[in-house]
Every structure is written in C-alpha cells, then in structure tokens.
Structure 1
C-alpha cells in the first residue's frame, strides 16, 4: 500500500475536490428537483407537460450520454465552459429527475384535505405548495431522496472520466499512467475515499430520517 501512503497529499486533494463536486451537485439537484416536482403537480398543463418530459428523458438516458452531450454537444451549439462545469451541470440535471420523482411521491402522500384547506383560506397554489405541502412531503421523502443522493455521490466518480481534473478518479489515472504505480493499491485508495463520502452521507441521512420521524 506504499502507493497510497506515499501519496496521501494527492489523495487528500482529490478527496476534497470530489467532496466539493458532491456538495454542489447535492444543492443543485435538490433545488432543481424541487422545482420540477412543483411543475409535475402544477395546475398549469404546460408546466406539467414540461415536468413529465424532463423526467421521462433524463431518467431514461444513461448518465454517460448526458455527460457526453454536455461536454461535446453544447460546444457545438456555441456554449463553452470547462469540463468541470459541464460535468457538474450534467450530474445536477440527471440527478434532479430522480429527486423530482422521490419528492412527487411525498407530495402525493400528503392528504388532499391539506391543500383544500389552504385554498379555502385564500392561499395561492405556490403558497400552498411551499408553505403547506412541501414541508410535509420533505419528511416523507427523506428515505427515497436519500437513496437518490447516495447514488449521486457514487455517480460523481464518472465525472473523472470527462476530465474534470484533480478529483479522486483523476488521482488513480495520474498515479497509474503517469507514475507507473500498481493499479490495485491505487484504486483501493480511491475506493476508500468514496466509501468515506458515501458512508458519512448515509449516516447523516439516517440521523435526519430518525429526527423527522419523531417530529412527524
């Protein structure tokens, strides 16, 4: 395991880079997924159609296809950015479709009487959704949304193949290809780094699930 112990600083910088990708993707996918979920239950037909089309397309496309389109398709349309930006955006767009459906299941689990009571006191659809329905839906949706986010943390490793640079995946490529280190110890160190991220996130989500279960 000397390949790992002798390059701990490289692994540490790659770990922080990958952790940053996970955090930004988490924030972006939760925000976008919530908006799309609102579209899916909107009384406006065009928004419902857009939400349904978004979810159908993104959920049925492999992540690699989404990333290839972001990295190589958008530049053909005159939209240019770094591979890091394209990769992160692709991961957010992809994950948001799954977050949307997890949240929509929580929204559908909220009693219809809650929304009817909100409308009866004069709240608009947006106010009803944001102030009455979503707070209850988030509690119900913690387990499925948590599973989506854990999968997203693991999917973040795919971004390394698209040249985001300096992440954990890139560490293995650098040590094996550029420095000739043995592959098994190097990739084991990378796997441990991702395990730390996913297991820590799983523990935090389990704690959150217990807290909202008590408050429910």
Structure 2
C-alpha cells in the first residue's frame, strides 16, 4: 500500500486548529483539576475522619468509573436537570473532575512522603495545622508530586481525544472530519498521531526542565 500524504496537505490547518483546542482543553483541565485535586488530597490527610472518608469516596468513584461515562453524565445527563452546558465547557469540567481524582491521590502521597519530623517541628514552632500545611509541608511535598503531576498532564492530553464524542472539534474530531472528506484514513490518523506525539513530547520536555530547575533551587 502506497501512502500519499499530499492528499491531506490542504487540511493541515484544520488539524492544527484541532490541536490548539486539545491544548486549550488540556491546559484548562489540568489547572482546574490540580486545584481541586490539591483540596481533595489535603482532605485525605486531614486529622478529621469524616473529611478523610468523604475525600476517599470521591477519589474511589472518580477513579473507578470511565472518563467517557463522566463526560456523558455532564453533557447529556445534566440537561435533564435543567442544566445545559456548551460542549467545550462540559468537556473541560469532565476532564477536570476526572483529573482531580488522580491528582488527589498524588497530593496525598506527596504529603505523606514528607518526614513526620517536619510536622513535629512545626508544632514546636507553634504553627497551626493550616499554617504548617501551607508554609512547611506543601512546599516540600510539591517536589515529590511534580513528576506524577507532569505524567497526569501528558495523560490528559491523550484522554482529551474523548472530547470528540461530544462533537468538540479537537484534534481527534478534526482528524475524523479530514478522513470523511479525503477517505485517506491511514494518512490522516498517522498525521493526527504524530501531532499527539509532538504535543506529549514537548510537554514532557517542558515538565522535565521545570522539575530540574525546581530540584536545584
């Protein structure tokens, strides 16, 4: 079989536009997901059993159900409750909620990796639990969390392909539209795969640079 990529050359701008939507959705989702994941992870180590149980249940449900089902519940399910969201907004919310469950466990692990002597030292200094967490524990825990959070961002870029099921013209949907016009399935999805590979490779490299600079400071 001979591959002819010249067939899809006129549609490269469409693919790149889809890639931009993928980047935008992934970036918004990882920021929002990390914020809520930080809260969930902090609740997981809170010295208050009901809060720990609530956070653990949240993580259990989010990590135990498919992202696709979560997206469908938000986009197709919420309208039955009178809540209608634009497709892109619903997609970002779904990705953010899913990401927060994984980030929550990353945060929990990062906090628990901080030596217990740091907690004892903060109590000796007369700091409250919140002050100890914000000023002493979290800054150290972030060093432990950076690689895992970076991997979560890379994973999120790939999982964003599921947004195509909500008719969002991200990279995968753009590829499907190009294929429907050119009928060049192999060439189209090879090109889409290469763009995904470039996005994840660039993201991994950028995160490695950030991590190395953080570790040397």
After TM superposition, the score normalised by the length of structure 1 is 0.92
Aligned position for 2:19: 15
CA contact (8 A) 2:44 2:56 kept: yes
Deviations 1:38-57 (A, max 9, x none): 11111222221211011011
Q: Does 1:95 align with 2:81?
A: no
Secondary structure (helix, strand or coil) at the match of 2:183 reads coil
Shift >3 Å, 4+ stretches: none
- The 5 Å alignment of 1:1-216 reads 1-164=5-168, 166-177=169-180, 179-215=181-217
Matched residue count: 213
Deviation at 1:85, TM superposition (A): 1.0
Deviation at 1:28, TM superposition (A): 0.9
**Distance across 2 between alignment mates of 1:88 and 1:42:** 28
CA contact (8 A) 2:8 2:178 kept: no
CA contact (8 A) 1:107 1:137 kept: yes
**What runs of 5+ residues in structure 2 fail to find an aligned partner?**
none
**Distance across 1 between alignment mates of 2:109 and 2:202:** 26
**Distance across 2 between alignment mates of 1:195 and 1:144:** 19
* Two-structure CA RMSD over aligned residues (Å): 1.4
**What runs of 5+ residues in structure 1 fail to find an aligned partner?**
none
CA contact (8 A) 1:161 1:169 kept: no
CA contact (8 A) 1:67 1:90 kept: yes
CA contact (8 A) 1:11 1:171 kept: yes
**Distance across 1 between alignment mates of 2:92 and 2:145:** 24
Deviation at 1:124, TM superposition (A): 2.0
**Distance across 2 between alignment mates of 1:157 and 1:101:** 24
Q: Closer, same or farther in 2 for the Cα pair 1:93/1:131, shift >3 Å?
A: same
CA contact (8 A) 1:154 1:194 kept: yes
**Distance across 1 between alignment mates of 2:174 and 2:7:** 11
